[in-house]
Structure 1
Amino acid sequence: MTEITINATRFDPYKNFKFRLQWDGRYVAGISKVSALKRTTEVVTHRNGGDPSSSRKSPGRSEYEAVTLERGVTHDRDFEAWASKVWNFGTALGAETSLRDFRKDVILELYNEAGQLAISYKIFRCWVSEFQALPELDANANAVAIQTLKLENEGWERDLSTPVPVEPSFSE
């Protein structure tokens, strides 16, 4: 069993705006938003034949929600290249999907205010179920063009090998 070290001097929870995402062993540029990591376990209700007035509950199948990534549109083709491995328009019949490598493991890292890695999650066997190359365009708007990638996955787990950071102190 892995022993978890607690930072006894940290009172505040981590903020949600310092994070990085990586796949294929490198960080993905410009990610500005990542949806929540969410797991839901079905409830199986049953009752014993001799117990007419109450039912019992036990866990059933667990499902992992898709993770949506957002970033500003740039010349970086990472989102589009991965999405094209799942569906590539204009290819030969039966060759629309790159079956060998359309899935990737993804690592989501959360950092503290000092920029130190605090928490890391591994998201397993992800593949692109939805890709938005461009948002709705509006000549009267004043906004950044955002592209999105929706990743189906087969689960995630916290990387317990990520050490608790020794947070800096400004002492005299």
Structure 2
Amino acid sequence: MSQTKDDRKGTIANVNCRYYVKINGVEKAVFSEVSGLQMETELFEYAEGGNNEFIHRLPGLTKVGNVTLKRGVSVDNELFKWYMRIAQGIMDLRTVTITMYATTGKQVVRWELLRAFPCKWSGPQMAANGDAVALETIELAHMGVLAVD
């Protein structure tokens, strides 16, 4: 991840291209893309009795989104094997760590996906005349996100 200076505010913004993903049980997992790292809190609204001009808005349940990882197909096929264990009913829950780095190599932020498991796997698109890298995609459901220092 490189840094760019925002001249309007005089701040430094971290660019999103330097990161590392670690999955317990998967030794060689270099991913070209990570997406879906998000949380959303539902709103609970209610009107106070006798006050028709105001609606209270309070936080409700917080939901986490699935995280999608993409990488070039590798010979170990470990992500597909993990998905197949889940599909066969074996609850193989793992911690997934996503770490973002500055250009200096210093860690900027780290997130942990708690009790993650694959809920979707997509293999590469193949074409006889194609020259693109064969990518596999795995979508992970998880029980929550922690920001770790």
- Mark yes or no: TM-score above 0.5: yes
Q: Deviations over 1:25-78 (max 9, x none)?
A: 765422111003100100111011111232111111000000000001120222
Q: Is the 8 A contact 1:20 1:27 kept in 2?
A: no
> Structure 1 residue 109 and structure 2 residue 99: aligned?
yes
Alignment of structure 1 residues 1-172 onto 2, 5 Å: 11-24=11-24, 28-87=28-87, 96-99=88-91, 102-132=92-122, 134-160=123-149
Match of 1:130, as an amino acid?
Answer: K
Question: Mind listing any 5+ residue stretches in structure 1 that lack a counterpart?
Answer: 1-9, 88-95, 161-172
Moved over 3 A (4+): 25-28
Residues 131 and 25 of structure 1, relative CA distance in 2, 3 Å threshold: closer
CA contact under 8 A between 2:73 and 2:124: conserved in structure 1?
Answer: no
TM, length-normalised to structure 1: 0.75
Classify the secondary structure of the residue corresponding to 1:115.
coil
Letter of the structure 1 residue corresponding to residue 75 of structure 2: H
CA distance in 2, matches of 1:19, 1:36: 15
Residue type at the aligned position of 1:71:
R
Residue 112 of structure 1 and its aligned partner are, at CA, apart by 1.0
Contact 1:28–1:78 (8 Å) recurs in 2 = no
SS of residue matched to 2:81: helix
Cα gap change, 1:114/1:27 in structure 2, threshold over 3 Å: closer, same or farther?
Answer: farther
TM-score by length of 2: 0.85
C-alpha distance in structure 1 between counterparts of 2:16 and 2:76, whole Å = 24
How far apart are 1:135 and its partner, in Å?
A: 2.2
Question: CA–CA distance in 1 between the matches of 2:32 and 2:119?
Answer: 19
> Going by fraction, where is strand more abundant, 1 or 2?
2
